Amino acid sequence: MRISEGILAFIFLLSVNIFSQQGGYTNSLSVQNGDVLNFYISTSASQYQIRIYKLGLNAGLVYTSPNIQGGVRSIPNNASSNGCNWQLSYSMTVPSNWEPGVYSAEFPVGSGNSQNNGTIIFTVKNTLPGTYSKLLVVLSTNTMQAYNNYGGKSLYDFNSTAGRASQVSFLRPYTADAIDDYYSRISYLVDWLALNNLTAEYCVDNDLDKFPNLLNNYSAVVYAGHDEYWSLEERTQAENYVAGGGKLILLSGNTMWWQVRFTNNNQTMICYKDKNLDPLTGVDNTRVTVNWYDSPVNNPENSITGVSFRFGGYVNDGNNLPASQGYGDYTAYNTQSWVFDGTGLEEGDPVGTVVPVVGYEADGAVFNWQNGIPVVNGIGGTPLNFRILGLSPAVTDNPNIATNTHATMGIYTNTNGGAVFNASTTDWVRGLDSDQVVQKITYNVINKFLQNRIPPEIVSWLPNNVSSANIHNENVFVSNRNITLTGNSLNFSVAAEDPYNNTLGYFWTIDGAVVSHQQSFTYYNNSPSGVKTVTAYVYNLKDTSSISWNLTTVNNNPVFTLSGKVIYDNKSGTSFSQTEILLIPTAGGDTLSVMTDSSGNFSFSGIFAGSYNLSAQVTKLFPVNSVNGTDALLILKTFVGQLTLSGLKANSADVNNDQQVNAGDALFVVKRFVGTINSFPKGNWISETDHITITNQNLTGLKINVIATGDVDDSAAGAY
């Protein structure tokens, strides 16, 4: 896209005197099973064969043509704009068993001055779109043709003779440089999808002009590499797709920079790049071929992509912020986002360092800092809920834009379930080859989008330590969730937004144990010093998001020991082994638990002074001999006032849990010991709860009494 590329034209004209007359093209860049595929080949070989390979999933040689008569064709003077118009070399019908995918047709070309490497890239679309895979990859063939100067001209001055063209034809061979966007970028995505068993269907840019509802057949659509040139039809279809709940994944940079339009049955692409040259100016301003944000179109690409090249720029491109000086990676922000799940990244960590993934052209958004987080301000049409996930400095050569631009990775959603993730860089897909973080982020996005499971978005949190940092030679802010607590308590809270605008649920854990189901909670520092992981979970009907703090507690208060034994209601004296004992601070804080030993003994150590509730949770099998006619009789005597029960006995007699002892309880007991029921409305075991206060000494010899429900005569026997 380089605005200053015209300065290279003179160098180009010195180095290239003639254009190769060899190469090849087809009647279409995208076909379906059963379509006729025509080849137009110019080669110095006297005879040759065309070999066709499937790329990516199930890759390999799929077709070899018979011998074809060779010959070098002449190139018309207007080939760049109107096509080569060569005679047909070979024709075939696309076999019915060819899978959807990217294919390469290979044929021999002479060495030396050949600009074409004897390759034609084309896609095979599924006859019934979306039935082979719900993932669609769109190849950036518009950009390839824009840079293609076969026949003398492209849409750029730097590699055109006597000035750039205003239209270019698809009916001519690619130069090796033009087709490079596939091999140097898009191929990484195709190969990575295959390695991860992610099936995909494929098409090319102008398929979206030919088939206005193509995207609606897919759950997610991916653009990759250098996807610079879009038609109004392509953009409109993408916008309608997202508005209707579709998921767009832009693994590209310099995306949607120029508007183009097509003629000649979509075989010729028009782009004047100047409203004063375009005959549609003043006639149909929506289709004038200038930058989307520019007059008279005035339709910034930010509104759909979230970002724009005018707010981004060049990174790791020659002397522009080269990787040798530490550039070419993103700095991660909002790492609580599900997009980063499984990466282990924290705020301010680098993304894309194994292979520089930011550059050479990257898109950006204008933002402000809020509590250590970069937040977009909507300038240029960026959606206000576009969440920034990564930043990298960029160099712009746009004189109308300030110099402190940034590559800006991010994501946004709409209430219809639509979503757009934008990596915002031409080279993101290069990281798919070897960078595990880039791989994981890409997998997370594709996987969630295909499943239509977008979790809530956690947008702010407390506590939030904000510190300044110098990253990429910039003074920035970083939100830190490593917290040290020396006081008595600390408040935690989160704010979240649901992509579907539904009610959200919350819960909190400390080291995996659930401690609250509210949007916020208070941590009480009444346990020994140490490191804990505090995690907030936010969930909707689709999925769950989380955010964690590393909490270091410092507590220098004296600690005490508490010990005792669990027995069966004081009378039989039978102890309870392997029973969980709970010690719950009445003022809030961590609940502690231990298990009794084989003799029913338990012990807590490191306990701070305070007030606690002490109880047992019995999970033993209910003793079959614990209820009988005597229990029913005692319950009836209690009901008529002949007997008074207290403590656990009274609690045990209320088997139907209606808070009173009556004939109904006696009836339940009779039914259970004769076997007509096998459970009580109240649980099988009842434990007393002791209110314990620890002041300045250890508490020992405590007893927790347990009784079986309904056993008011203490007849239950056995080893517990």
Quickly list DSSP for 479-497. EE-EEEE-SSEEEEEEEEE
- The larger pLDDT score, comparing residue 169 to residue 647, is at 169
Helix (H) or strand (E) holding 293: none
C-alpha 710/C-alpha 720 separation (Å) is 17
Instruction: Identify the band that residue 496 occupies on the pLDDT scale cut at 50, 70 and 90.
Output: very high
* pTM check: above 0.75: yes
**Does the CA dihedral 535-538-539-544 come out positive or negative?**
negative
187-190 CB contacts, 8 Å cutoff, 24+ apart? 187/55, 188/429, 188/430, 188/432, 188/433, 189/137, 189/222, 189/224, 189/225, 189/251, 189/429, 189/432, 190/55, 190/56, 190/101, 190/102, 190/137
C-alpha 389/C-alpha 393 separation (Å) is 14
Burial per residue of 421-439, b for 16 or more beta-carbon CB atoms within 10 angstroms, e otherwise: bbbbbbbbbbbbeebebbb
Predicted confidence at residue 106, as pLDDT, reads 96
pLDDT tens per residue, range 7-47 = 444 334 333 333 468 999 999 999 999 999 999 999 999 99
Domains (range + CATH), the chain: 5-18+126-458 (3.40.50.880), 465-553 (2.60.40.10), 564-586+609-708 (1.10.1330.10)
- Overall average pLDDT of the 187-193 stretch: 97
CB atoms within 10 A of CB 678: 9
What number of CA atoms fall less than 13 Å from residue 447's CA on the CB side? 14
Does the structure show a pLDDT above 70 at 6?
Answer: no
Predicted confidence at residue 15, as pLDDT, reads 35
Predicted confidence at residue 110, as pLDDT, reads 77
Which residues in 94-219 belong to E strands, given as ranges?
A: 101-106, 119-125, 135-139, 167-169, 201-204
Cα 268 vs. chain centroid, distance in angstroms? 37
- Strand, helix or coil for residue 188: helix
Instruction: Identify the band that residue 609 occupies on the pLDDT scale cut at 50, 70 and 90.
Output: confident
Predicted confidence at residue 14, as pLDDT, reads 36
- Overall average pLDDT of the 238-247 stretch: 98
- Overall average pLDDT of the 698-707 stretch: 92
pLDDT tens per residue, range 461-480 = 999 999 999 999 999 999 99
Which of 215-229, 290-304, 431-445, 685-699 is predicted least confidently? 685-699
Predicted confidence at residue 587, as pLDDT, reads 83
Does the structure show a pLDDT above 60 at 617?
Answer: yes
Closest CA to 378 of 296, 303, 476, 298: 303
Closest CA to 182 of 174, 193, 170, 194: 174
Share of the chain above pLDDT 70, in %: 95
Instruction: Look at the block and give the residue holding tokens 């045990």.
Output: 652
Alpha-carbon distances, residue 397 vs 5, 204, 321, 371 (angstroms): 11, 30, 13, 31
Query: Is 360 within 8 Å of 316 (Cβ atoms)?
Result: yes
Average pLDDT, the chain: 92
C-alpha 148/C-alpha 146 separation (Å) is 6
Predicted confidence at residue 8, as pLDDT, reads 44
- Overall average pLDDT of the 522-527 stretch: 86
C-alpha 216/C-alpha 65 separation (Å) is 36
Q: In this structure, what token pair is assigned to residue 640?
A: 């008529």
C-alpha 551/C-alpha 530 separation (Å) is 8
Angle between helices 663-674 and 629-640 (to 10 degrees): 180
C-alpha 225/C-alpha 214 separation (Å) is 21
Predicted confidence at residue 300, as pLDDT, reads 98
C-alpha 177/C-alpha 395 separation (Å) is 24
- Overall average pLDDT of the 510-534 stretch: 92
pLDDT tens per residue, range 550-606 = 999 998 888 899 999 999 887 777 888 999 999 999 888 778 899 999 999 999 988
Query: Is 269 within 8 Å of 444 (Cβ atoms)?
Result: no
Predicted confidence at residue 402, as pLDDT, reads 61
Under 8 Å CB-to-CB from 297, ≥6 apart: which residues? 259, 285, 286, 288, 290, 291
